[in-house]
Structures are given as structure tokens and as C-alpha cells.
């Protein structure tokens, strides 16, 4: 093989290695739902609260309870009757069965969310995740950051056995190699 061809192949191979290393260090994998071994997907929707609501909510299986919790944190320490609360928050939700309501701080930290039920632990896990590069551009110091916002997430409990159910949030940043994860408890509810 001529010397020129060997040099060309060595330079091309080195460049390919450098580009692959840059992709791993500076690139992010594609977004996708998180699925743990033994986990079953749970249908969930985020319910709009409005007004940039930011407050802690105790998990509950009662729509009346979650409406009252929001009212107490935004308007007054005493709740009006259920009909007034229903007109103020999600009037389309009349009677809810087989659901749990949780408050999740979603902005600015939760770019993508999916929910799973882990039967062995009798736990519902709210995966809050995004893909990120190991070496990224940091936000400008002093730049305005989005305000924290709490969303009310309604998750189905239709295929979940009765009893005490643990609820947890997993924060995850996915990288090409080694994800960063942390889990925090949200509370427990009793599934009738």
C-alpha cells in the first residue's frame, strides 16, 4: 500500500475518532420515554392551573381535594363549596374514578414527562427527563430564568391494585453514556 494512502487512512481514522468523541461529549441522544424493567406505562395528563401556580400539593385521589388545595394556596385559606371550585378549576372533570392527582414542579426543570407503575414496589414513578450533552453551553450568568411552575398531573390508577400506593418523581438527564438520575418521594395515597 502506498505511503500516501496509509497517511490518508490514518488521518481519516483520527478525524472520525475525534468527531465521535465530540458527539458523545457535546451532543445529546434523541428524546424518548423512560421505561424501567418491570414498569408498566400509566396514562397521565397535565391539568392547567393558570396564573403560574407554584406551590406544594399533597397527592390525592379526590378532584375536590386537589381543587381545594389550589384554592387555599392562591385565594383564601377556606374553600367554598365543591360546585364553586368545580367552576373555577377544570369544570369538565365531574366525577373522577381510578385517578391520582399530584403537583409536579415542571418548569423550568421538566422538559419531557412520562409515568410508570412499578408493581413490585407498588409505586407510581413520574419520570421528568430531558436529553443533554456532557459538555454544554451554560446559561449566561445574570440572564432571566423562567419562573417555577407547578402543574397538576392526573394519572390513571385503573390497572393498579388497591392499597397504599407510593408516588415518586425521578429527575433524569440522559447522555450518550451514563445518565444522571435522582428520585424524590411525593407521598402516598390509598387506592380504594
- Residue-wise burial string across 73-102, b where 16 or more C-beta atoms lie within 10 A, e elsewhere: beeeeebeeeeebbeebbeeeeeeeebbbb
Flag whether 111 is in a domain.
yes
User: Do 155 and 124 form a contact (C-beta atoms < 8 A)?
Assistant: yes
Flag whether 80 is in a domain.
no
Q: Whole domain around residue 107: which residue ranges?
A: 39-62+95-134+143-191
Flag whether 85 is in a domain.
no
Number of domains in the chain: 1
| Positive or negative: CA dihedral 159, 162, 48, 32 | negative
Q: How many CB atoms lie within 10 A of CB 146?
A: 9
Helix (H, G, I), strand (E, B) or coil at 134: coil
User: Do 1 and 8 form a contact (C-beta atoms < 8 A)?
Assistant: no
40: burial class by Cβ within 10 Å (0-12, 13-18, 19+)? middle
Flag whether 52 is in a domain.
yes
Flag whether 182 is in a domain.
yes
Flag whether 4 is in a domain.
no
Flag whether 172 is in a domain.
yes
Flag whether 12 is in a domain.
no
List the pLDDT tens digit at each of the 192 positions of the chain. 676 665 655 565 554 454 444 454 556 677 778 899 999 999 999 888 877 678 889 999 999 999 999 999 889 999 999 999 999 999 988 778 899 999 988 766 677 889 999 999 999 999 988 777 766 654 444 445 556 678 899 999 999 999 999 999 998 888 777 778 889 999 999 998
Amino acid at each position: 500500500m502506498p505511503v500516501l494512502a496509509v497517511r490518508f487512512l490514518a488521518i481519516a481514522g483520527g478525524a472520525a475518532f475525534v468527531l465521535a468523541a465530540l458527539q458523545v461529549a457535546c451532543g445529546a441522544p434523541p428524546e424518548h420515554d423512560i421505561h424501567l424493567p418491570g414498569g408498566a406505562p400509566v396514562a397521565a395528563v397535565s391539568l392547567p392551573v393558570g396564573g403560574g401556580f407554584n406551590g406544594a400539593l399533597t397527592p390525592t385521589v379526590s378532584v375536590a381535594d386537589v381543587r381545594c388545595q389550589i384554592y387555599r394556596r392562591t385565594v383564601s385559606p377556606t374553600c367554598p363549596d365543591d360546585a364553586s371550585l368545580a367552576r373555577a378549576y377544570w369544570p369538565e372533570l365531574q366525577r373522577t374514578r381510578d385517578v391520582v392527582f399530584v403537583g409536579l414542579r415542571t418548569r423550568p426543570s421538566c422538559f419531557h414527562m412520562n409515568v410508570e407503575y412499578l408493581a413490585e414496589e407498588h409505586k407510581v414513578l413520574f419520570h421528568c427527563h430531558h436529553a443533554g450533552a456532557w459538555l454544554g453551553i451554560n446559561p449566561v450568568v445574570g440572564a432571566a430564568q423562567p419562573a417555577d411552575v407547578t402543574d397538576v398531573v392526573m394519572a390513571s390508577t385503573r390497572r393498579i391494585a388497591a392499597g397504599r400506593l407510593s408516588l415518586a418523581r425521578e429527575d433524569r438527564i440522559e447522555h450518550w453514556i451514563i445518565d444522571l438520575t435522582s428520585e424524590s418521594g411525593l407521598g402516598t395515597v390509598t387506592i380504594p
